[in-house]
Amino acid sequence: MRARGLFILVIAAAAAAGFGMPHLLPGYLVNILTEALIFGLFAMSLDLMIGYTRLESFGHAAAYGLGAYASALLLLSFDIPMLIVIPMAAIITGVVAMPIAWVCTRSTGISFAMLTLAFAQLFYASVYQFKDFSGGSDGIAGIARRAGPFGIDFFQTKIGYFYLVLIILILSFLFCRSLVASPFGQVLAGIRENEVKTRTLGYNTRAYRMVIVVLAYAFGGLAGALYAPLAGFASPELFFWRMSGMVLIMVIIGGRGTLVGPILGGAVFLFLEHELSALPMVRELWPLIFGSIFIAVILFAPQGLWGLFRSWREKRRIGVVSKPQSDAPHAAS
Amino acid sequence: MDFLGFLITQCLNALSQASVLLFLACGLTLIFGIMRIINFAHGAIFMLGAYVGHTIVVLTGQFWLALIAAPLVVAGIGALFEMFLLSRLYARRDGGAYLMITFGLAIVLSEAVRLIWGAQPKGIDLPEVLTGVVFLLDQPFPIYRLFLIGLGVSASIALWQFLERTRTGLLIRAVSQNPEMVHALGTDIRIVRTGVFALGCGLAAFGGILATPLFGAYLAMGNNVVVDAFVIVIIGGMGSFLGSVIGSIMVGFVQVFGAYYFPSMALSLLYLLMLTVLIVRPGGLLGKEE
Amino acid sequence: MPLLECRGLTRNFGALVAVDAVDLTVEPGEIRAVIGPNGAGKSTFFNLINGMLRPTAGSVLFDGKDITGLAAHRIARHGISRTFQLTHLMPDLTARENVRLAALASSPGRWRIVGGADILERAGEAADRAMERLRLAPFASMKANELSHGDQRLLEVAMALAQNARLLLLDEPTQGLSIEETERAVQILREMLNGEDLTVMLVEHDMEVVFKLADRITVLHRGQVIADGEPEEVRQNAEVQNAYLGGFD
């Protein structure tokens, strides 16, 4: 594979930086970095749907919120170690996503986007409705990172938690990378490019779409499950459509269909936002700047920043000037 | 308490709520029906209408002038956005791109509003004719809400007649059916698209001003209301004008009666209604399935 | 036993009867052409066989099994592949990836979620063979939408071939091609058909193409079969000449 060299480099750099960094930084910065990695994981999970299958979800906050509330409630209600709660919360999110996937994949395109949005908003509203259970608008506070099993308590510390998130992110990335290159991933690419044709080739495309929705929710839930013990609370805002919109933006700016792009997009965005909030002048203007950058990326670099970088690198490798992009519609329209 | 009187006031409340939502939803469904664009900035446009209206009232003291001028200003902004940004995406034939660029616009507009008008909520003073109450079966009812109902009814009829009966309306509907054909027949569809987008934005802004005397103009108003508008349009069937009218009335009633009888469930009721409709009819009540 | 048998196959669109009680059998190894003027119901007929449309009445038997009204992907799995009148490809994938996806459809490993490089490898080899037959090997690594129109048509045939189907439905394989491109395509298709034991049904507009490729011809007119026979018989059939050849420019 062509990208292998660079890929190993990126992973190695990320790991080296990751494993050295927390010891050099003040504590609050470690937390911000951790949250940035979690957001990167969240964006990557959405990329499975948007970039690899062209299922434009506008309700991915549902996955994040479900994961966060599941891990919060499990940690507060039962005496289960955090290391077990986190994968459990991801699995719960995936299970809850099954009926959602069944309903949403009846439609495609805009209807699909609207159905995912409807489910996310329904969860948002339910948090307010079942106050005793969910804490209503106050959310759930006082979530602690519980030690164990076997008395492992390293991951309770800020730095330990950072490592935990980093390891989970790298493993998830490796899994997703293998997934998109697998036979299953090839069928997803077929669905993305031309679903009717893929179906006539003999694939039950709706079943494939359902599976990828459930997997994307499970990984989104994993990100949410990591967020709750970090922040110490879970709030209804995690389900709100702005959250869905934000993560969608991260995927697009980073570069859909690249996995790496959304991870970097999500992480860098969150990090910048935190850092720039410290500067009063910039804080005022930041959302405006950020919105404008987003519009510019959609207009001028629809393949996203990582996609832009990748095609630039390919061009250099081949050593030819690429043809101007043709505006003609695809042959299969 | 007199139950009949109570019922009538609640129904009128629901209808006046529906009227405000109607303007928002009609703009949204018009833009979608003709251009296949989901305008996520619709809530921000609604809010912009409210703030521009507020400024016009402050500067001139004329509510009626604001009611006409503010939608025109906002429609102009919508037209500029369509001409310079949105139109670059048409060749791409990617529905997701529209959703995202209008989401970007929503962010930029909300932030611009915050920078220009600040975080404090703003109100609009009504002219004397519209203040005060009338008594219906001994129940007091604000005149302004009656005014809203009248406006909603007359605007729906006017819009419907415009789309069904006039040449321009015919042209607009033809663009939604077959843009290439309309283009081949010698009409510049670029103008039609710009016009439709501007009209949709103008309608939303109109709704924004109308809502301000009731709830004030505040920064979250767009975020809160845009989802209601989506619910309406999805329930009614995306692109169906009549569907939006029906959807607005349904949502108005669910909100008003839900808030009274099931206060804790009011929000969920709305989304449950939407999901039920979508599961039974994936294209909405009067929509076509894609 | 015939490979394909349609009995009274009918499809209405409202008041319009697009396909009207069509009886038709295709024997194994046969190359059958379905011809007819525009709007005769040829593409609808294909859509009924491969499950993209449900018939209003009648039945389709494939290899003795009733496949009427099954979902399109199930019918494909029974062994019927098709091409489309308007090219249907995965535009952003390479030519080889397109054909490989077709070859993968018959592999039990198509649900492998991680890994599976060996499964893709084998599907890739099958894809290479299919592309070889249609002389597409030189373009394997080009994106499908960068191929010439003629090669895109052939790429779709290669996909149908790679599916390892027992019946190929080709919907106007030379549609939209120039005279030279058509000649080349017909030659390549003939070589392909001679080289394999295939059963093919093709819809075609171009009579030259039909007479060069088909063993047997069925003529559809307003949804009904008006003639069925060897190419020479059909050519001389007066009704056909009236309905179709006479009106052909």
Q: How far apart are the first and last CA of chain B?
A: 49
CA-nearest residue to C151 within chain A is: A331
pLDDT at B200 over 90: yes
Nearest partner of C207 among C247, C239, C169, judged by Cα? C247
Q: Do A118 and B282 touch (CB under 8 A)?
A: no
Residue-range domains of chain C with CATH? 1-77+200-249 (3.40.50.300), 80-165 (3.40.50.300)
Q: How far apart are the first and last CA of chain C?
A: 39
Q: Residues 6 or more apart from C141 whose CB is under 8 A from it?
A: C94, C95, C96
CA-nearest residue to B233 within chain A is: A114
Residue B166 bridge partners (DSSP): none
Residue with tokens 């702005």, as numbered in its chain: A242
The angle at the Cα of C93, spanning A187 to C76, to the nearest 5 degrees, equals 40
Element (H, E) at A215: helix A205-231
- C177 interfacial to chain A (CB closer than 8 Å): no
CA-nearest residue to A244 within chain B is: B103
The interface predicted TM-score of the complex, written ipTM, equals 0.86
Residue A131: list chain B partners with CB under 8 A.
Answer: 264
Residue with tokens 């909520």, as numbered in its chain: B121
Cα separation, C41 vs C192, in Å, equals 27
Q: Find the Cα–Cα–Cα–Cα dihedral B207, B42, B180, B177, rounded to 10°.
A: -60
Q: Do A284 and B101 touch (CB under 8 A)?
A: no
pLDDT for B123-137, tens place per residue? 888 887 778 878 777
The angle at the Cα of C98, spanning C110 to C74, to the nearest 5 degrees, equals 45
DSSP A204: -
Long-range contacts of B87-96 (CB under 8 A, 24+ apart): B87/B190, B87/B193, B87/B194, B88/A299, B89/A298, B89/A299, B91/A327, B91/A329, B92/A302, B93/A329, B93/A333, B94/A302, B95/A56, B95/A109, B95/A110, B95/B36, B95/B38, B96/A50, B96/A54, B96/A56, B96/A113
- Look at B74 and B121; give whichever has higher pLDDT: B74
- B134 interfacial to chain A (CB closer than 8 Å): no
- For chains A and C, having 3+ Cβ pairs within 8 Å is answered yes
Tell me the three state secondary structure of residue C113: coil
User: Which chains touch B (3+ CB pairs under 8 A)?
Assistant: A
Work out whether strand C4-13 and strand C57-62 pair parallel, antiparallel, or are unpaired. Answer: antiparallel
Residue A181: list chain C partners with CB under 8 A.
Answer: 117
- A319 interfacial to chain C (CB closer than 8 Å): no
Is the bond preceding A149 in cis, omega lying within 30 degrees of 0? yes
Q: Looking at CA atoms only, how far is residue A237 from chain C in angstroms? A: 33
- C90 interfacial to chain A (CB closer than 8 Å): yes
pLDDT at C248 over 60: no
Mutate to test the interface with A, among C46, C67, C93, C101 (most CBs of A within 10 A): C101
Query: pLDDT value at position B288?
Result: 66
| Helix, strand, coil tally for chain C in percent (to 5) | 40, 25, 35
Nearest partner of B110 among C42, C8, A119, B102, judged by Cα? B102
- B93 interfacial to chain A (CB closer than 8 Å): yes
Residue with tokens 């119901």, as numbered in its chain: C41
CA-nearest residue to B277 within chain A is: A115
Q: Do A121 and B227 touch (CB under 8 A)?
A: yes
Average pLDDT, chain C: 87
DSSP C89: -
Order of strands across the sheet that contains C57-62: C16-26, C4-13, C57-62, C65-66
Instruction: Dump the DSSP string for C174-218.
Output: TTT--HHHHHHHHHHHHHHHHHS--EEEEE-S-HHHHHHH-SEEE
Cα separation, C210 vs C186, in Å, equals 10
Query: pLDDT value at position A19?
Result: 67
pLDDT for B150-170, tens place per residue? 999 998 899 888 888 888 888
pLDDT for C75-133, tens place per residue? 998 989 999 888 889 999 999 999 999 999 988 888 888 888 999 999 999 999 999 98
Query: pLDDT value at position B81?
Result: 93
What number of residues does chain B have? 290
A115 closest CB neighbour out of B115, B231, B278: B278
Domain ranges of chain B: 2-280
Tokens describing residue B134: 């009338």
| Ordered per-residue pLDDT tens for chain A, 333 residues | 455 666 676 666 676 666 666 667 777 788 888 999 999 999 999 999 999 999 989 899 999 999 999 999 999 888 888 889 999 999 999 999 999 999 899 888 777 888 898 899 889 988 887 777 777 777 887 777 776 677 677 777 888 889 899 999 999 999 999 999 999 999 999 999 999 999 999 999 999 999 999 999 999 999 999 999 998 888 999 998 889 988 988 898 888 899 999 998 888 888 877 777 777 777 778 778 878 888 888 888 888 888 888 888 877 776 654 444 444 444 333
- Alpha helices of chain B — where are they, by DSSP H? 3-35, 42-60, 63-84, 95-117, 143-165, 167-177, 179-184, 189-215, 221-236, 241-261, 266-280
Query: pLDDT value at position A333?
Result: 33
Cα separation, A235 vs A219, in Å, equals 19
In this structure, how many other beta carbons lie within 10 angstroms of the beta carbon of residue C15? 5
Cα separation, B224 vs B227, in Å, equals 6
- For chains A and B, having 3+ Cβ pairs within 8 Å is answered yes
Residue A300: list chain B partners with CB under 8 A.
Answer: none
pLDDT at B79 over 90: yes
- Look at A4 and B92; give whichever has higher pLDDT: B92
What number of residues does chain A have? 333
Mean predicted confidence (pLDDT) in B49-76: 92
The count of CB pairs under 8 A between chains A and B is: 121
Residue C59 bridge partners (DSSP): C7
Cα separation, B124 vs B60, in Å, equals 12
The answer to whether A90 and A244 are in contact (CB under 8 A) is no
The answer to whether B2 and B139 are in contact (CB under 8 A) is yes
Work out whether strand C199-203 and strand C216-221 pair parallel, antiparallel, or are unpaired. Answer: unpaired
Q: How far apart are the first and last CA of chain A?
A: 30
Tell me the three state secondary structure of residue C105: coil
Tokens describing residue A62: 């549902």
A129 closest CB neighbour out of B268, B279, B289: B268
CATH topology of domain B2-280: ABC transporter involved in vitamin B12 uptake, BtuC (1.10.3470)
What number of residues does chain C have? 249
Mutate to test the interface with B, among A46, A119, A129 (most CBs of B within 10 A): A129
Residue B25: list chain A partners with CB under 8 A.
Answer: none
* Max avg pLDDT among A163-177, B272-286, C8-22: A163-177
Tokens describing residue B90: 């048409």
The answer to whether A223 and A231 are in contact (CB under 8 A) is no
Cα separation, B21 vs A102, in Å, equals 31
C82 closest CB neighbour out of A187, A198, A200: A200
- Look at B71 and A278; give whichever has higher pLDDT: B71
Query: pLDDT value at position C100?
Result: 95
Q: Do C76 and A202 touch (CB under 8 A)?
A: yes
- C47 interfacial to chain A (CB closer than 8 Å): no
Please state which of the ranges A308-322, B14-28, C83-97, C178-192 shows the lowest mean pLDDT: A308-322
Q: Do B278 and A118 touch (CB under 8 A)?
A: yes
Tell me the three state secondary structure of residue B216: coil
DSSP A239: G
Q: Looking at CA atoms only, how far is residue A19 from chain B in angstroms? A: 36
Instruction: Dump the DSSP string for B88-153.
Output: GGGGG--HHHHHHHHHHHHHHHHHHHHHHH-SS-B--PPPGGGSSEEEETTEEEEHHHHHHHHHHH
Residue C102: list chain A partners with CB under 8 A.
Answer: 201
In this structure, how many other beta carbons lie within 10 angstroms of the beta carbon of residue B111? 21
Work out whether strand C31-35 and strand C224-229 pair parallel, antiparallel, or are unpaired. Answer: unpaired
Cα separation, A326 vs B96, in Å, equals 20
Cα separation, B146 vs C57, in Å, equals 57
The answer to whether C134 and C158 are in contact (CB under 8 A) is yes
Cα separation, C131 vs B173, in Å, equals 46
